[in-house]
């Protein structure tokens, strides 16, 4: 099973635009039998807080779509409990993604914010943009 972590900005973008973030999120939820979305309590809290921000409600249908997305995330496969604290990234709040990558042994961390993740991998986890992930997945479709 392929294990992925999705940065919060990818979820927000997927609700606002119909481009690579939307394609990636849609694909991951459709492929639940072969892809595991890795989450932690800390990340789940961030998803809830950010996706509920009023400033995004100006986008048509955002409110309903964000509630559906949060429901899907909260009912997803497995919640991990990272125990190792990591302090590698300049934006300290992003270290939780690497902590989750460490504890879940994730294959991919998908982020739209390459500046905050200056490396292309963390241990065995590849750090990719939504476009890169989509292209990797689409080339492996039967």
Average pLDDT (36-49) is 94
Q: How many domains does the chain divide into?
A: 1
**Per residue in 76-108, pLDDT tens?**
667 899 988 988 887 888 999 999 999 999 999
Domain range for 39 is 2-138
**Per residue in 9-34, pLDDT tens?**
999 999 998 888 888 999 988 888 88
Q: What is residue 49's predicted lDDT score, i.e. its pLDDT?
A: 96
CA-angle at 84, arms to 82 and 88, nearest 5°: 110
C-alpha closest to that of 25 among 51, 45, 49: 51
For CA atoms 112, 8, 101, 138, give the dihedral sign: negative
Q: 59 φ, ψ to 5°? A: -85, 130
- Global pTM reads 0.92
The CATH number of whichever domain residue 73 belongs to comes to: 3.40.50.1010
Q: What is residue 78's predicted lDDT score, i.e. its pLDDT?
A: 78
């Amino acid at each position: 099973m392929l294990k992925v972590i999705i940065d919060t900005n990818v979820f927000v973008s997927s609700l606002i635009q119909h481009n690579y973030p939307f394609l990636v999120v849609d694909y991951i939820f459709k492929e639940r039998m072969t892809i595991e979305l890795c989450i932690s309590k800390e990340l789940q809290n961030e998803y809830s807080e950010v996706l509920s921000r009023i400033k995004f409600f100006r986008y048509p249908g955002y409110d309903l779509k964000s509630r559906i997305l949060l429901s899907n995330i909260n009912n997803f496969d497995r919640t991990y409990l990272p125990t190792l604290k990591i302090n590698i990234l300049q934006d300290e709040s992003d270290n939780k993604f690497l902590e989750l990558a460490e504890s879940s042994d994730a294959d991919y961390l998908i982020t739209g914010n390459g500046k905050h993740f200056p490396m292309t991998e963390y241990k065995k986890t590849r750090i990719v943009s939504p476009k890169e992930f989509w292209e990797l997945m689409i080339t492996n479709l039967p």
